[in-house]
Amino acid sequence: MPMMDILKGKVTLQDWAFVGVVLAVTAVLFVSFYFLAYTQQQHAIEEQREYLDQVSRELAAAREIDDNIADLREEAEEMDYLVNVFEERLPEEREIPSLLSRFERQAGELGLRVQLASLPTRTADNMEVIPYRVTARGRFHDIVTFINMLERDERYFKVSDIDIGEERDRVSEAVFVLSTFRFVQRDTGSNNE
The predicted structure's pLDDT at residue 191: 46
**Number of other residues whose CB lies within 10 A of the CB of residue 99:** 16
Answer whether residue 193 shows pLDDT above 50: no
40 or 96: which carries more pLDDT confidence? 40
pTM over 0.75: no
- In degrees and rounded to multiples of 5, residue 187 shows phi and psi of -75, 115
Query: Residue type for 161, please?
Result: D
Helix/strand/coil percent split, the chain, to 5: 60, 20, 20
Residues 127, 83: contact at Cβ < 8 Å? no
According to the model, what pLDDT value does residue 190 have?
45
Residues 6+ apart with CB under 8 A from 154: 89
> CA–CA distance from 164 to each of 45, 135, 189 (Å)?
83, 10, 47
Residue type, 126: N
**So what's the pLDDT on residue 75?**
85
Architecture (CATH level 2) of domain 93-183: 2-Layer Sandwich (3.30)
Distance from C-alpha of 74 to C-alpha of 27, rounded to nearest angstrom = 68
* pLDDT tens figures, 75-127: 888 887 777 666 665 555 555 666 777 778 888 888 888 888 888 888 877 77
Judge whether residue 57 has pLDDT over 90. Answer: yes
Q: Locate the domains of the chain by residue range.
A: 1-89, 93-183
Total residue count of the chain as it appears in this document: 193
Percentage of the chain exceeding pLDDT 90: 13
Band of pLDDT at residue 54, cut at 50, 70 and 90: very high
